[in-house]
Every structure is written in C-alpha cells, then in structure tokens.
Amino acid sequence: MGLRCVADLLLHAPSRYRRTHPWQSLSRVAAAAAKGAAEGMEVRGEIASVQRGFGRTPKVEVVLEDDSGDIDLVFFNQPWVQRKLHPGMRIIATGKPRTYRDRVQIANPEWRRIDDDAPLQPPVLDEQSASICPVYPASEEVPSDHIADLIDSILDEAVALLEDHLPASFRASHGFPELATAYRYLHRPDLDEHIDAARRRLAFDELLLLQLGVMMKRFHRRTHLHAPALDRSSEVQARIAARIPFAPTAAQTRVIDEIGADLAENVPMNRLLQGDVGSGKTVVALAAMLQAVAHGRQAALIAPTELLAEQHARTLGSLLTDASVRLELLTGSISGAARRSLLDAVAAGDVDIVVGTHAVLTQDVTFQELAVAVTDEQHRFGVHQRASLRSKAADDSRCPHQLVMTATPIPRTLSLTIFGDLDISIIDEMPPGRAPISTIAVGRSGAAAAYEGIATAVRRGERAYVVVPVIEESTAGLTDLESHLETLADGPLRHCRLAAMHGRLDVAAREAIMDQFRRGDVDVLVATTVIEVGVDVPEATVMVIEDADRFGLAQLHQLRGRVGRGERPGHCVLIAEPTTDEGSRRIAAMVETTDGFRIAERDLEIRGPGELFGSRQSGMPPFRIAALPGDLELLALARRDAIAWIEQDPLLTLPEHALLRRRLLKAHGRWLGLGDVG
C-alpha cells in the first residue's frame, strides 16, 4: 500500500469517519435496536454459525453470541466472507443494528478477529457518548482497523516531531490550527469541528505548495529567461493574413492578437490556447509560427501521435502553398539517411517549421534558433517533455516562446493548478457554417437501427466512422476491431466500402487509408481512438461508438468532434449498457450537451483532477486531502497568498522560509522543473 514509514502513516488520511458507541453486550444492542435508538455500535462475540443465505441477493448469514444473547451479521455480495469466518472464532463487529423479522441484525458490518481468550463481557454497561472513528483506505490483507491501531500507536510521538512551515501570524489570520494539531485532529478527532479544521488546514497546505511552485516558476521565467522579441509590424500582419484563406472569427482574431503581443516581447510567452473541437486552433498556431519565420527564426509544432502530426503537416502545408516557407514532418518513422538529412537541414536553419511528434524533443534534434514552440494536446505530454524544449535554445537563459493548445477544454479549477503558470486564451466561438451534432444513446438492442442509419447516410453520399475500444478480441468481452469489421461487412454494412484504422498500422498504410476515406473510395472507417484528434473529413456525418461507456468523457467528446465538420449536420450514436454509475453519468453528459467546457466540468465532477489531467502523465503528485472542484475557494485563497509570498521573497531564500522551500521542492520541485530556480 506504499506505507513504508511513520511519515507515510501520518499522511494516510481517513477516507471517512464512523460513529461508534462503547462496546455493548448483545442484549443491550438488541434492546437499543428494538427501541429504534441504535446508532453505530461495536459488539464482541463468538461465532455460533456461518451459512449461505437464500434470496435474490447473494448473502452470508453469521450468528454472533455472547453470555447475554445473540444477533445476526449479514454480509451482502461478499461471498468471500464465508471462507474467512467460522464457528468458534471471536470477532469485533461494528455497524448499525436493526430489527428484521424479530431478529436483531447488522448488515455489512466492519469486523476483525480478536484472540480466542478475549473477554466477551463489556467492562462498563453504562451508555456513553459516541466516539468518532476514522476509516482508512485499506485492503483485504491490511484492514482499516489494523491501520488505525498502527496510526494511533505512533500519533503522539510523530506529531511532536512536526515543524510548522506556516508562521504563527499567518495561521492566526487564516484561522488554521498548528500542523501538529491538524494531524492529531485528522486521525483522532473528538468533534466534527476537529475534522473540518484539520481538513481545511491540510488541504490548504497542498494547494499553497503547488501555487508557490507555479508562481516561483513564473517569476523565474519572467526575470531570468529571455526569448527573441518578434515584432508584429503591419507588414508582418498582412503577410500572415494572406496565408489564411478565410475570414477568421472574432475569437480567432482576438487570440491571434493576444499571442502576437506576447511574441513581440523578449519575456518568453507561456500561453494556453483552449478551443473546442473544430474551433480553428491550427490557424492560430500557424499565425504564431509565421511571426517567428517572418523574423528569420524557426518554429515547431509537436503533436502526441503520428496521425495528428501528419494531419497538421498536411493542413499547414496546404495553407503554405506557394509560400517561401519550408515545412517538414519529423516523426519516429523517419529514419536512416532521410532522418540525418532532415536533422542537418533543421540544424542549419534551412527548415522554417518542423511538425512532429515527441521525436522533435530527442537530443539529436537541434535548431539554429527555435523561437516559437507549439505543443498540441498538452495534457498528453509529460512536463519533462515540455521542459525539454528549453534545451533547444542557444544558451541556458534562452527559451522559445511556448504555446500550448488543447481541444479538451480545461475547467477553470484545473487551469489554476496544473497550468497555473500559463496565460490563457480561449476561442469561444465556432467558424460559420459548422453544423450542430446530435447525440443519442442506445442499448445493444438499438445497434441495428444505428447501422441502418450509417447505410442510409452512405447512400446519400456521406461517410461514417465506427469506433471500437480494442483491436483484438479479449477476455473483457469488448467489441474488437477485427471481428466487428467482419460482422459489419457480412451484415448491415455489406453494401458499403469498409476499411480499418488503428495505431499498429505503419505511417504509409494509415496515410493510404485516410486518403481513400477523404476521396470517398472508402465509405466507413472502422477505427480505434487513433482518430480521436486531427482527422478532418467534412463529408463524414455519422459516428457510432461501440461500448461507449468504456471511454472517458473527454475522449468521447473528442471523437464526436470528427463528424459534422462540413455543412451537413453530424449524428453520434453511443451504444452502451453501463454497469457503473460513473459510466451512466458519462453517457448522460454526452447526450445532454455538446459544449466542451460543460463536458470538462462534468468530467472533473465525475473523475476528479488526478484522472482528468493525468497526475501520472504530468508527474504531478495527486492531492491527498484537497478535492476539486469542491475546494475552489481554498484554491483561490492559496493562489492569492502564493502571489503575495513570491512578491515578497521570489525564491523563498529568507531564513524564515527555509522549511517552506524544502517542503515545496520535495513536493513539486521535480515535476515543475524547479531545479533551475535559485
């Protein structure tokens, strides 16, 4: 469980709390249940019998007895309990007793074994006030009660060793307890107010350390690093505008102006560009890169997959037709002499714009002068990958202007945390002529009608996608690409021309299939999520997603954005029979709205920030106490305090901030790349 030392135990926060009255004899428990006055109670006894119960719900029935009487313990949907409990065993059980068919029972109690000679008669029979007991994240091998005993045994000594990194005056102004008191309240509360006070202090600490790291990084970037100032003259603006074959939306124009103003400064730009699927972010990125090219510098656009990089190269190449701008694609598939020749050209400055995957970030890729770096779908890149763009600069104090793009709208809550050091631009309108997308969800019984809809659309000259979760058949029973393609070709789509697309195909094969689909030589593309981003075929109007409840909400929204990209309306059919509440909520959100920002907020509510923006991918440690969006008010407070703190002591080098700095570097130094700060 990762609990290796005393500090780990101290940081192992309860998942919830339960109230228990002191240990009671079974006769007193039965009397309290009969009056309807029983709350959470702890009982001890010896198991008299264990048997499998009958009924629609699987259950195990246990009779527990002491000298005063007996009660029933009933375990629903826990068949393994029958193997763990046996007659003659003495246990402690905790739960709420109730009367059922003239018997007193506790349903799904928490329990643990005690010694065979442990007393069963309580030492005190008088009713006392209930106590608050922490319940810890646990496992079958290491139960919560065992963890509770361990933590209780080390708590007093451990908290006595804690130094507080927040000054007393700061704690007083915020109404926070001391750090030692907060941990004592967390693990051994006497009152509900203790739990609230502990949680508020410790959640604030987590949010403050993160915000301090973000603000320290921001200060360092603005004061110690410099980038080439790319003046945005009227001549440069006119030349860039000539490359855009349509009138940009007001939102695109506003964002191009914001980015252009940043690029004109010698402070490195660090801007996040948010825009829903199809809002026109690529054109904005092109304008930024051309501002670098106009000044004789280089630019790079980095995408998370080869398919998306190829799509970007194709789109940008068409916009740069007849322009004196050399654009090249660099991916892991390019090797040998072709790769060496391309790297030589990039190093010599002969290539103006490099479009590629993370292959652009490898050590052997050097630029003559990289002035603008655009990363698409930033949340798919680790922080170290984004930071490695710095190594492409001419010296340690140089840094390219960085633009981060995402079509997965980021809730404001998260943009303040993970992307807290970025300025934010939002494209909040769609290009004219984009048709709306309708979404419906059906069960397995509705699949036939969904595929008939595809066949009808194909007869009208339209194209369609069918998305499946896996390539090959697996024990999970998910719809797989290979057998599903065969089923469709022999059944509902036998009159359509089908092709398969997945990530294991090489670049040439993928490109050939996509060209056939764009030209209309293929009617229906049966694919995995490899088509999630970057695929733009205006004639594609219908998408069917198999096992839709097995996809993430942001992923479903991205997939849906592949249809309705022309003048005809798009239709998305989600085939799903969710078995979890989370799956049902994702499907409901998709049917309810096509607004990417509302989708993102719902995704945050359902999954939490750690999953949504990949603590694993970004390297950001997950919060132990803080919970977003619930702690948005605390986050705003932590951000305000962090800004004031860094203004006063930018690198936390004052002696009184030494402990705070150490804890900040330990928590976030690595993933934020604070090694070069101070």
The CA-atom distances, in angstroms, between 459 and each of 328, 465, 522 are: 39, 15, 13
Which pLDDT does position 433 carry in this prediction?
67
Q: Could you tell me the pLDDT band of residue 609, with boundaries at 50, 70 and 90?
A: low
Which of these, 273, 353, 344, lies nearest to 312 by C-alpha position? 353
Sequence-ordered list of residues with C-beta below 8 angstroms from that of 304, at least 6 positions apart, any chain: 357, 358, 376, 377, 380, 381, 533
Other C-beta atoms lying within 10 Å of the C-beta of residue 527: 26
Q: Which two tokens stand for residue 513?
A: 């299939």
| Domain 6-160: CATH class, spelled out | mainly beta
Query: Which band of pLDDT confidence, cut at 50, 70 and 90, is reported for residue 614?
Result: very low
pLDDT value at position 62?
Answer: 96
Bigger pLDDT: 569 or 19?
569
List the single range of 92-96, 171-175, 216-220, 671-675 with lowest mean pLDDT. Answer: 671-675
Looking at the chain, the whole-number percentage of residues with pLDDT higher than 70 is: 89
- Sheet arrangement for strand 270-275: 327-330, 353-356, 298-302, 370-376, 401-406, 270-275, 423-427
The model's confidence at residue 202, banded by pLDDT at 50, 70 and 90, is: very high
Using alpha carbons, select from 34, 164, 18, 41 the residue that is nearest to residue 92.
41
pLDDT band, very low/low/confident/very high, at 120 (cuts 50, 70, 90):
confident
The per-residue pLDDT for 21 is: 61
**How far apart, in whole angstroms, are the C-alpha atoms of residue 300 and residue 292?**
10
What pLDDT score does 335 carry? Answer: 86
Q: From the CB of residue 534, how many other CB atoms can be counted at a distance below 10 Å?
A: 23
For residue 67, the model assigns a pLDDT of 87
At residue 612, the pLDDT reads 42
Spans of all domains in the chain: 6-160, 234-265+280-406, 437-593
In this predicted model, which residue has the larger pLDDT, 678 or 309? 309
Which range of 79-88, 171-180, 350-359, 477-486 scores highest in mean pLDDT? It is 171-180
What sign does the dihedral 86-89-95-96 (CA atoms) show? Answer: positive
Predicted confidence band of residue 280 (pLDDT cuts 50, 70, 90) = confident
**Domain 437-593 maps to which CATH number in 3.90.79.10, 3.30.60.50, 3.20.20.70, 3.40.50.300?**
3.40.50.300
Crossing angle for the helix pair 179-187 and 144-160, to the nearest 10 degrees: 160
- Mean pLDDT computed over 118-129: 62
CATH number of the structural domain 234-265+280-406: 3.40.50.300
Same CATH fold assignment for domains 6-160 and 437-593: no
Is the pLDDT at 620 greater than 90? The verdict is no
Mean pLDDT of the residues in the chain: 87
Q: What pLDDT does 391 receive?
A: 60
Mean pLDDT value across residues 220-240: 89
Residue 383 has pLDDT above 80, yes or no: no
